[in-house]
Structure formats: structure tokens, C-alpha cells
Chain A
Amino acid sequence: MTKVFSTFTKITLILGVTLTSCKKDKEEEVVMPESAYRPYHIVMGQGSTGESLTFSQGITVEQMRDANHTITFNNFGFEIPSVRTARMYTSTDGKTLYNLNFGGGEVAKYRYDGGQKYTQLLSTSVQAAIGTANPRWTKIDDNNALLHHVVVEHSYTTDSVYQTTTSTIKLAVVNLSTMSLGTVRSFPVNMDADGGFIFRIDAPVLQNGKLIYGCGKQKMNTTTNTAAAYTGTDAMSLVVDFPSLENEHIIRTNAGGAKGNTNGYRTPVAHQMDNGDVYQVSTSKGMSVLKITNNTYDASYVFKLDDVLGHACQTNGWFYVGNGIGYAPVLNADAGASSSANWDIVRIDLNSRTATKMNLGQSFWLQQYQWASVIEGKLYMAITPLGGEGRIYIFDPQNATPDGFTTGAKLQTGTDAFYLGIF
């Protein structure tokens, strides 16, 4: 089945390329690539309790669109090596897979050879640079990824009274072609006056030669002497120069009452538009879309999903398609906690500051949904109920109605399994 399709696709593409190349040949001498076919990777996770497995297999656009096709990982799929869990990305051309072995303290690069075959090319230990075997990382473009980790240290007086917490930020740049490490830097960040401190940073995005990192906050509970999640009174991001990783400073906003974390979990949190503006979401209970222009928050941009949708919202990130339209997995926080199956896909319009809940027929558990791909102007997502059967959803940003999507291939999961995305 796959073979027929890929041959068919190849023929179509070659024909298409040949025909178009005939036109282009009149204008200039262009060397066309062997094939313009871009392999996509569908990825499934298994295990919601800390240690999880991650499987990947190749897939074509045709297969994803075919409502009669079924994608399964039963006895098929590449198990991405991990001690505890795997954090992966693919290159823009889909030919390379990059993975962080969470628990092993290593990053590795794999060449995609078709089907379920991924061949490891290089691996690099990041333990000495970042000081842990469990850092987080984000690929920011085809040449670079950033490794990040926050070290939290509480200090007490000699009378065992809690004083303050210092967060040390550790960053390292990964050169994705050689898989070697570039700049490595660490620096401290002090606690806010209200007791909130940074315990995690994630989901950086590049704007004007600077990295903007989302931040997760905590505060010490002095009665139990343990730190707990803290929303605080505003939202903040950490900005550093790239690639020197210097000139660190915090930017903050309270636009429309926005507050809480901005680091998300696995889903991308911030995206850059063609005009250079960055739009970021807050990721605690109470969801706001925040605008960052020239590395500072625009306080005049107020877009609160809670007000638009009429219930408490929470998200871990969103996906951008184009023309100000994006899609976000959003939890109805009035109906349940983030581990519950009360998440929906919401179409957000950054320009009109409106949001529409997509009518997928049911709600899902999407706390760990990681990636969606924009193909020919449409957003492809792989959504399944935990352990059940789901579909590929193809969202059309031109269609603002709750039914502005089509369904594609069927997706089979497995026990305690959920699709992580289409890469």
C-alpha cells in the first residue's frame, strides 16, 4: 500500500517538477533537487507516568489525507532511544530526526531511511555543558537548537528561616549539522519581590537576534518547606542575545490581567510572524495571547480566551498557520484539571482577537500534544483519545466556522498511548 502510494507520488511529483521546470528553464538554469518529496513523521507516545516510550514512522501527505487509510504502531515504528523519555524534532526537509535522550543526557541525530528505519549518525553528551542528564531543548531553526536548564537553590538563615531562592539559568547552543556544542553560558536570576522565582524556562523563539524564553514560576510554601506552582500577578519572559547568550533581562506584562507561566510543556508556546512580531500564550489557568514587539511586551494588545470562550481556559501552547490564524489545544479548566480529557482545539484569530472552538465531536487529553505541520496552507494534527482510535484532522484557516476542517486517516493507538504529533 505504502509502496504504491509513494511510487505514485514520486511519478506525480516528477511529472509536476518536469512540467514546471520546462517553464523555468526559459528563465534561468536551475538545478532541481532529485525529488521534492518531503517525508513526514507521525509520532506516538506511550505511557503517561513519567517514563514513556516514543515511536516514529514515516508518512506521506496522501496517506494523511486518505480517510480510508489506517495508521498503526502495532509491531511497527521506530522506538526512539531514551532512558526516561525522548524529546524529538525533525529538520525542515523531513530527512533528519533530532532527539534529546532525557535521562541519558545526550542529543543524537538520525537519518531517515524510509518506513520505520532511522539510522543514528552522531550522538553528543551534554552532561558536562549543562550539568544534568535531564535538560530540555528546543530546535529554533535548521542549524541550531538550544539546551536549557534551571537550577533552583533555596537559602535559609542559621535559625532555619527561609530567606530567598536563586535561579541559575544554564544555556547551551547545539550546532545541528555537527551535533557539537557552541556557546555555553550560565547566569543567576533573582527572586521577585513577591516570592515568585523561575523554576523552568522553555520554548524559546528568535526575534531580532535575541532569544525570548517562556518562564515557569514557583513560590516557597513556608509551612511545608516545599515549593509549589505560582501564578503571581503578571507574565514574564527571559531575553538573551543569540548566539552569545549574554545581556540577559526579564520582560513583563500584565496586559488584560495576564499572569502565570509562559513556558508550556511540549507544545510550542511562541511564534514569530512575517512582520517580526512574536505572539506568545500564557500557560497557567487563565489563558492570554501576548504580543512581543522589538523584544518587549505590547501592553495594548489584549486577547483573553477566558472572556472570548466564556470559561476558564488553560493551554500548553499553540500552532501558527499564517495570516494571523493559529490553532491551540485549550483545556476547559472549569470542567477539569490538565490531566483530564477536557481539551479542545480552538481556532484563534490574532487580528480580530476572536476564537472558535472546533467541533471535533468529543474532547481529548492533549496536555502533551507536541507538534503539528503546516502543509499547503493547512494545519495537520493527529488527535486521538488516550488509548482509543482517532483521526488526522486537517484544519483550514480560511474557514472560521467550528466545522472548518476535514478528517483524514484513522489512527490506532495502544494502551496508555497518545499521538504526539506530525513532524
Chain B
Amino acid sequence: MIQKIRYILAVVLMLISGASCFAQQGTLKGDVQFKNGEVAVAVAIQLVGTEFRAMTDANGRFQLTNIPFGEYTIQLSSIEIEKTAFSQTIHKEEETISIIVNTSDKLLGETIVYGKTEVREVRDKGFAVSVIEPRNLELQSIQTNDLLDRTAGVRVRQSGGLGSEVNYNLNGLSGNSVKVFIDGIPIHNYGPSFSINSIPPAMIDRIEIFKGVVPVHLSDDALGGAINIILKKKMTNNFAVSYSYGSFNTHQSDFRGNYRNEKSGFTVNGGGFINYSDNNYKVWGDNVNVQLAPGAANTPVVAKRFHDRYRSQGVKMDLGFTNVKWADRLMIGGMFSNMDRQIQHGQSMKVVYGNRHMKSHSIMGNLEFVKRSIFKKLDVSTFASVSRLDRTTVDTIPTHYSWLGRETYYYNGTQPDVWVLGGGEAGRKSLLNDIDLNINSRTNLVYHINENNTLTFNHLLNTFERKSDDPMIPAAENAMREQRSFMKNILGLSYENVAFKQKLRTTVFGKGYFMERNASLRTKTGNGPNQIVNLKETNMTTQNYSFGGAISFKIIRQLMVMTSAERAVRLPEANEIFGIVAENIIANPELKPERSDNFNFGIEFNPDLPKHNVIFRPNIFIRNTNDLILRYNQGGYDQNLVSGNIGKVFTKGVDAELLYSFKRWLMVAVNGSIFDAQIHNTTLDPVSGEPVLTNKSRLPNTPYFTINSNFRIERPSLFAKGDLFIFHYNFLYVHEFLRRGTGLGGAGQTFIPTQMTHDTGVAYTFPKVRFTVSFDVRNLFNAQLFDNFALQKPGRGCYVKLTYSIF
């Protein structure tokens, strides 16, 4: 209010002074420093309400000339400082001032938006959350999956090179327990071609990883946690394009831009990417063998992968209006993406493929509307999308390949050897095509009861329908295929209270999951061309609830304590409830959702040290998971399997991150995670189905001890004024773990060996032009890396990247 008056006053004064032909003008100059004497570089100084702007140079100095005499409000802002404003009178030809500013609360790349950063907001509520901001990392050849992998408590497991299958493990829980979102929308709506594998860091604003306890604005049945990728929606005009080339014939290019018309608020926002890699890295070891003559014993070899090419392309564009009177954002847009991936091997590297591949393309249309204070005290934001995903698995050539990189000719005369699984390499001949139609909407209403109390209501609607068709299988069998669809409604309600001068924040929430499933199965009454086809429809409606909360308490400015808990659920997948006929897995309509009582306790310690900046964030977590859905042998001669709620896992662990920065150009980040996940192994009595024997052992095939350390230098004006030099070194350690850990056996056990990965690189941005060159080396010591059993990842790779920003 006071600012407004000052502003109006300044304008009036300026007009008055401007109107006078004999108005005198002066120069305002000075310097800006921090309390500790350090200079404040790149601080924007503005005389509010005028066009007078300047930026402090490398010595913290600035100068504004030809300012008409008068009283002004000077405003200082930068990514490093707390926004400062004060009044200043110009009544001399030369005015010199010295300004002292405070450092802002954010560290290592958080962006100030309105006072408190959005990231700060999320952390302060007390949720166990890790935030990744790509910022200058997008200048390097780095994948989004790498950014996630370097975060405390997150383990990313890939089964090969670029574009390969990925699995995320959050504090011990993985697979379907971890839900991934893009801008709050479940990622499966976007399809496999627009995923963490393909979206470049340049398109990402930040990634929030909620561990174990998920706030209502991301409500979905996330048992272990949620990963939310928030795409860039900057307000400033910018456009950047990059190209990277590197080992294994990897080419990656992306563009990212934003334009906003100041007057009308018309905004265009978008980005795109192209990824290509042959993934022809070398593999070796127990699982890489060839036969040099028909039926001869195996010879181990070092082989180059030859059928692992990955290609993806995508464009996402939105246009509309931002920051206008009637809306903060009203955007309409779409996404189109494509990908194809050759499949080099089956479950292990022992079985090699030469033709099998998959491809998919997705198209999405979306609408977004955000308005704070649409009615007094009520904020609304809504996002709706319709998407069509088309995925095809192509497996029509049964030729047998080996690690020699070609077909084998041992038993079929002049023809190559073939697999006899029905026409394909991995099974029957297949051109299986799935077309998914998704409708998705997420609406968030925030009601500010008063300054200290907020009520949030969130609704997620997701409908899914899949049509499967395989032109390779007999039409008769195709027609009998089961079709499935579902409609999911998730409602979340959360109440937040702030007390004791904003030191104590309490959030409590509840979520309701309403699911309607449908499966249609066709049966014939006989074996003739005109037999009546009966349609058997199974409908299932379920309702489940969960609840939780988070508390944070800022004991002193440097120390905050936080705790959060949630009784989370995971709704069963369609395959678990309806079974998979082709794999002898029978249905179980009685299946309940998996439940996990998740608990986190942590602190954030940020001592005030001059020159040095230290943050320490340890977090203790407990996950008590029950009713885990596992398959077991139900009986019968053909060994039918069924899914049941028979699993129980208890996990306790700690993850911690320590961030250190020196004068903002030297940064060291170390994080680690160690946990003990014990699975209760139950033997079921083959007659009664009751558990007979239960013992505990470490959850198999789960990495439980990881450390990541990152060393980074970001030095502006090192060689020339206005340039930027970056050097980085990352070391990731994953301790070995057993593939199957049941306490049985003492020799020859299969385990995934300890991984130590070193990545390093340099980047240089030329002064004046915004052109950056970077050079990166991944897996510097060419180590043999495995995230999963017998599936080797790439060896040493070198990459060059060029990035150019136009304004």
C-alpha cells in the first residue's frame, strides 16, 4: 500500500519535473555489497515506475545517468539477494550511494518468484522432499535420469543405454509404488515417447521428489512417493537451442522458448527435442558368449551392441494469456511425440535379438487455467488433457542372432537358424498394437480462510481405455481378446495452519480413491463362422481412503525440524485383478490395495557462516508396507498363478544431503542413503492357503546403500569479463546387492556388483554472445556397470554440446 503511494508520488513528481523544460538531471552511482563485505554482482537496480534500470558489474558498481531531479523508490533484486527497496532523492548532479543487501534464503540455484520461492514453500511445509533445479546443468550433456539418480533417496535403474527401460526406487519402494507426474499430471497420459527418457533438462524448471508422504496437489495412489517434473513457464522472453554429439553415435538436440507480449499478455511457450543413439557400446562377461561352430561350446567375447538404436522426437507448445486481469494463466496447447527403440535382448544378455523393436507415438491436447483470487480468498487452477497413445511391438522375424552381430547359420542349411516360439524372437509373431485413450483433469482449489489458515481441495480425474489389436494372430483369437477400461477419481482435502510467527506449520490431509473398472470378455458358443458371441462384462467399483500430515517447526532461523506421515495406498493394477489369460495368471476380484504406513523425520540445518554456505538435511524414514501384491501358485496341473495380498515389507533407513558452497562459485554436494528393507517370506500351506512359516530376509534385488558426491565450480568472468566457466565431477557409489536374497545358499549366488561411476566435464560460455560449449565424459574409468542383473550399461562415453541462447 505504502509502495503504491510512493509509486504514484514518484510518477507524479517525475511528470511534473519532466514537464518543466528547465528540469535538472543528475547521475546516481554507487555500489552494492553484502553485510560481510562481499560485492553483489549482477543485481538489477530499478527506479520504480521509470525506465531507469542498471545492473551491478563484477565489482558491485552501477551508474544511472540523466535522471531528472526528484524522489524515487529504488528497488534492487537478483537471484542472490532479498529484494530490497528504499526511497532516494536525486537533487544533485552526482549522487553516490552505498547499499547493503541481505542474502536471500535460497541456495544453489533456487529462483525467486514472489518473495518466497516456490521451492522454499514446499520445503517449509515439512514434507520430505528433494528438489532438483537444472539451471546451468542444461549446458552439459546430462540426461534427466542422471539428475534424479544424484538425489538423496532416489535410485534410478536403467537396463541399458539411452532410451532403455527405467525403474525408480524411492527409499526402498519401487515400480508401481512410485508415481511420476509432469506438471501434476500422471505421466502415463503422455506415453512412452514423452517421458523422463526423452525430455531434456532444458525444458524442465524443476523436479520435486516427495518421499513417502505426498501432498494433495499430487494425489494419486503413490505408495512410496511421487516425482513431479515441472516444465518451464518463465515470464521473460527467451529462446535457446542446443545440440550435442557423443559416443555410441548419440545425437541430441533441443529448443526451448517463451514469448510474452507485455501489453496484451499474449504468451507462447514451448519446447522440443530430438534424441538419437545407436547405443552400440561394448558388453562382456558371463552372459556374453558366442558359438563359433554348430553346437560347439561357448566362447566368451567382448561384443558391440548392434540392435539397440533409440530415436525420439517431441514438441510441446502452449499459447494463451498470462498475467492478465482475468487470469494468471489461460493456455491451450498440445504435445506430439514419437519414439522407436530396438530391443537388443530378452530378460538377460544371454538371449540376443536382431529384429524385435517397439515404437510409439502420442498426441495430446491440453487446457490450463490458473487464477488466484478468482473470488475473494479463493484461488483456482485446473489442467485438463485428452491424449491418444499408440504403441506397437514389432516381432515378426524369428531369425536367431548371436553376439557376433549377425544371424547364425548352423542348422538350417543356407537359411539362418530360427526361433520356434511362433514366428517372433520373444514369442509368437506379433504386431501387437495398443491404442490408449486417456482423459485427465486436475483441479486445485485453495481457500485462504485467513492469513494463517488455508484449505485446499484437489480433484484428479483419469479415464483410460485400451484397444488392443494384433494383425499377426488369427482373427478368431483377436476377436476374443479381453478389453479393459477404468475411471479413477481421486479427491484430496488438506488443511494448513501457520502459527507462532510462521515458525510452526501444520498440514493435515485426507484422500479418497474412487475407482470404476470394466473388463469385457468375449466367448463363443461353438466353433462355426456364425456362432453367437457372448459378451461377459465385469464391473468393479471400489472406494479407498488414506490420510496423513506434515509438521515443520523452525526452532531458530538456522534450524528447522520436520516430520510427515501418511497411510498411503496403491490400487491394484488391472492385470493383478483380472489376471493375464495368456500367461496362466488367473483373476482375483477380491484383491485389496497395498497399504503403507510411511513416516519421515528430518531436520534442515543452515548455519550462518561468512563466505561459506552449508546446509545439512538428514531424514529418517520408516515404511511399513502390508498387503503387498505378489503372485503365488494357486494350483492345478498347469501351475496357475494368482495375485494375492500376501506380502509384507518393513523398511527403515536414513538419507541425508550435505550441501556446501563457497562464495557461490564452488559447490560440493554429498548425499547418501542407506536402508534396511526386510521382507516377510511366507510359505503358504498348499491346501488351506494359510501362512505356515514366516521369516524375514533382506528385500531382494533392491540396492540399499548409495552415495553420490558432486563437485562443481561455476566461475563467472574467469578468463574474460562476462564469461562463465564450469567444471564438474560426480562420483556415484552403489553397494552390491543380491538378486535373490533369502538367506539360502553360500556359493555362486547371483548378485549385482558394486558400482562406482565417475562423470566429469567442463563448459564455457563466451562473453557477450550467449554461446556455450561443453565437453563431458561419462563413466570415466570404463567400469562394467549393472543396475539390474546381467544387463550391462554403457562404458566410457564422451560428449560435446553446444548451446545458444537468443535473448
Contacts and interface: CB of A to CB of B under 8 A. Distances in A.
B468 interface: no
A77 B636 contact: no
A12 interface: no
A5 interface: no
Contacts of B2: none
Residue from B295, B683, B687 whose CB has the most chain A CB atoms within 10 Å: B295
A44 B287 CA distance: 25
A416 B683 contact: yes
Contact of B529 (A53, A130, A160, A284): A160
Given A123-B298, A153-B422, A118 B686 contact: no
B694 to A, nearest CB: 8
12 contacts: A73-B744, A75-B746, A161-B528, A172-B295, A184-B295, A222-B527, A223-B523, A223-B525, A225-B480, A338-B636, A414-B744, A416-B682
A337 interface: yes
Contacts of A122: 297-298
Interface in A375-412: 386-388
Interface residues of B, number: 70
B527 A341 contact: no
B524 A77 contact: no
Interface string A281-318: 00010000000000000000000000000000000000
A225 B742 contact: no
B51 interface: no
A322 B681 CA distance: 41
A225 B478 CA distance: 10
Contacts of A117: 747
Contacts of B348: 83, 103-104
Nearest to B527: A222
A352 interface: no
B745 A149 contact: no
Interface in A54-103: 55, 73-81, 83-84, 101, 103
Contacts of A48: 632-633
B156 interface: no
A153 B480 CA distance: 18
Contacts of A229: 637-638
B411 interface: yes
Chain B residues touching A, majority SS: loop
B490 to A, nearest CB: 32
A124 interface: yes
A156 B474 contact: yes
Given A161-B529, A339-B634, 12 more contacts: A46-B744, A53-B740, A77-B744, A78-B747, A104-B287, A105-B351, A125-B291, A129-B411, A160-B475, A223-B524, A339-B639, A415-B682
A414 B347 CA distance: 27
Nearest to A127: B400
A48 B686 CA distance: 10
Contacts of A161: 476, 527-529
Contacts of A132: 419-421
A149 B524 CA distance: 31
Contacts of B298: 106, 122-125
B17 to A, nearest CB: 84
B581 interface: yes
A194 interface: no
Nearest to B400: A128
B350 A341 contact: no
Interface string A129-161: 111110000000000000001010110110111
B683 to A, nearest CB: 3
Given A74-B743, A75-B745, A131-B400, A386 B639 contact: no
A78 B745 contact: yes
Nearest to A387: B683
Contacts of A338: 635-637
A128 B293 CA distance: 11
Contact of B744 (A74, A170, A179): A74
B693 interface: yes
A229 B631 CA distance: 22
B419 A131 contact: yes
B744 A55 contact: yes
B291 A79 contact: no
Given A77-B744, A123-B298, A129-B410, A386 B420 contact: no
B41 to A, nearest CB: 58
Contacts of A153: 422
Interface in B42-63: none
A131 B295 contact: no
Interface string A166-204: 001010100000111110101000000000000000000
Q: How large is the interface on A (under 10, 10 to 19, 20 to 34, 35 or more residues)?
A: 35 or more
B346 interface: yes
A339 B635 contact: yes
A336 B687 contact: yes
A181 B295 contact: yes
Given A46-B742, A181-B294, A226 B400 contact: no
A417 B695 CA distance: 12
A50 interface: yes
B609 interface: no
A387 B695 CA distance: 10
Interface string A347-385: 000000000000000000100000000000000000000
B417 to A, nearest CB: 4
Interface in A321-344: 336-342
Nearest to B481: A225
Nearest to B412: A128
A80 B745 CA distance: 10
Contacts of A336: 686-687
A7 interface: no
B289 interface: yes
A333 B476 CA distance: 35
Contacts of A416: 681-683
A49 interface: yes
Interface in B634-680: 634-639, 641
B526 A118 contact: no
Contact of B749 (A79, A149, A157, A387): A79
A380 B109 CA distance: 71
B302 interface: no
Contacts of A224: 480, 523-524
Nearest to A220: B527
A8 interface: no
Nearest to A118: B748
Interface in A205-227: 222-226
Interface string B278-306: 00000000010101001111100000000
A116 interface: yes
B750 interface: yes
Contacts of A74: 743-744
Interface string B739-771: 010111111111000000000000000000000
Nearest to B687: A340
B748 A80 contact: yes
A131 B687 contact: no
B525 A104 contact: no
B580 interface: no
Nearest to B349: A104
A341 B420 contact: no
A180 B298 CA distance: 9
A112 B558 CA distance: 64
Contacts of B743: 74-75, 414
A181 B422 CA distance: 24
